[in-house]
């Protein structure tokens, strides 16, 4: 299974992907299990998160990060500062 990918895109790249038209998801400080039925890409607007894959190394990300989660991944989300993100599945 592939790893979580985190990068810092520039504004041009975000506009090319039309990120700012994607839906927004928000979550309070919390810890929860998650399974990805399909690939998700997201752009973090606010907050701080640590994601711990069942088969992989933990990844932390926050504002300005563009994150890709692989299809089929099981993980634990630990939201340490309330998160707000644009997201896209598929």
Can you give the pLDDT of all 90 residues of the chain as single tens digits?
579 999 999 999 999 999 999 999 999 999 999 999 999 999 999 999 999 999 889 999 999 999 999 999 999 999 999 999 999 999
Q: Give SS3 for 83.
A: strand
From the number of C-beta atoms within 10 Å of its C-beta (0-12, 13-18, 19+), residue 30 rates as exposed
Domains of the chain: 5-89 (2.60.120.10)
Nearest to 50 by CA among 70, 66, 36, 30: 30
Query: pTM for this one?
Result: 0.94
């Amino acid at each position: 299974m592939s790893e979580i990918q985190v990068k810092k895109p520039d504004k041009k790249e975000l506009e090319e992907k039309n990120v700012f038209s994607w839906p927004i998801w928000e979550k309070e400080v919390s810890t929860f299990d998650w399974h990805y039925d399909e690939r998700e890409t997201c752009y973090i607007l606010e907050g701080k998160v640590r994601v711990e894959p069942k088969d992989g190394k933990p990844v932390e990300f926050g504002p300005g990060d563009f994150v890709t989660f692989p299809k089929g991944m099981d993980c634990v989300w630990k939201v340490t500062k309330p998160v707000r993100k644009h997201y896209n599945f598929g």
